[in-house]
Structure 1
Amino acid sequence: MRTKPDRIISILLLVFAGIYLALSFQLPAFPYAIIDSDVLPKGLGFLLIILAVVLFFQAKDDTEEDKQRRYVKKEDVIILLSVLGALLIYISLLEPLGFLVSTILFLLVIPFVLGFKKKLTTVLVAFLFSGIMYYSFNYLLNITLPQGILPF
């Protein structure tokens, strides 16, 4: 009997959800919080377990069309790995450069990698989105984001 691909994926998701849920139960509890910081991670972990079980029981055999649809071109893999690399660089530069500079750089690079041609739109979105988010978090919500090399 051949194993269905959806069942393999659901088992992997179930293992991941179990590890994720075990780690979310290790988050510290705060005595005066109505909704604690562990509510969202625990909820997402249980939701992932439920969805993995549903996927396991809804698995169907692969048709030839399904196998064709699953084929990924080499160019798409390169783009995906480039975005992953840019994301990892963004995460590593977030503290040293700060939220504003690293987010602007990230939002300038990603559209280029994905083949977006409108440079003015890319620059406007990168600067406006980053600036509005930085201002909103730091000054309206009083949540400090990494300032990095900038003095504000």
Structure 2
Amino acid sequence: MNSTFDRYAGIAFFAIGLAFLVGSLSISTSAYGSNVGANIFPMILGAFLSLMSIRLIYETFRKPRAEKQKEDLDYKRFVIIFIAAVLYAYFLEDIGFVISTFLFLMIGFQTMQKGKVWVSLLIAACFSYGVYYLYVHLLDGSLPGFPSWLGGA
């Protein structure tokens, strides 16, 4: 890891997190058919990103200076996950939150670490359905459910 890069990345992500927080204040606090407004997720994500950035900046000052070493960038994994993220956003409405999130997580897990397919299946399934259940049933929010050809609304 490069401490200088991490420090500048932390500062940049902190600024992005603050922008999310400030921007979420101008979004409507309620949505039709939902008790949770559209401003909640950007606000939470902005706060989380800002806090993690502060932690990253703090860690760069705590870590002793390491010798310079050249790291190879893994473009193949980056491209796979980037394409998966674009496809996730594109198909979210068509195939629903649970299925698209499950597929995205499976692609991400298997891209980062091949093998352990059953563990990846279990984590992706529990996370995608768990978030859907928490947001839709407990918080009365609205997310695209299952597609109509699977019996969804």
TM-score range, shorter chain: 0.5 to 0.7
For 1:7 and 1:64, the matched residues in 2 are separated by: 14
Give the C-alpha shift of residue 80 in structure 1: 2.9
Q: Percent identity?
A: 21
Aligned pairs for 1:31-110 (under 5 A) are 41=43, 44-45=46-47, 48=50, 55=57, 63=65, 65=67, 67-68=68-69, 71-74=70-73, 76-110=74-108
For 1:16 and 1:113, the matched residues in 2 are separated by: 27
1:112 aligns with 2:110: yes
- Asked if the contact 2:88–2:100 (Cα under 8 Å) also holds between the matched residues in 1, the reply is yes
- Asked if the contact 1:134–1:145 (Cα under 8 Å) also holds between the matched residues in 2, the reply is no
Deviations 1:107-131 (A, max 9, x none): 3323332232233x15741674267
Classify 1:79/1:100 alpha carbon distance in 2 versus 1 (closer, same or farther; 3 Å). same
Gaps of 5+ in 2: 31-35
TM-score of the aligned structures, taking structure 2 as reference length: 0.56
**What amino acid is the match of 1:48?**
S
- The secondary structure found in structure 2 opposite 1:129 is helix
- Asked if the contact 1:108–1:122 (Cα under 8 Å) also holds between the matched residues in 2, the reply is no
Q: Which residue does the alignment assign to 1:24?
A: 24
For 1:64 and 1:112, the matched residues in 2 are separated by: 31
Deviations 1:84-143 (A, max 9, x none): 321221122111111232233223323332232233x15741674267437734884354
- How many residue pairs align between the two structures? 139
From the CA coordinates, give the structure whose radius of gyration is larger: 1
Q: RMSD in angstroms over aligned alpha carbons?
A: 4.6
Gaps of 5+ in 1: none
For 1:8 and 1:16, the matched residues in 2 are separated by: 12
TM-score of the aligned structures, taking structure 1 as reference length: 0.56
Give the C-alpha shift of residue 59 in structure 1: 5.5
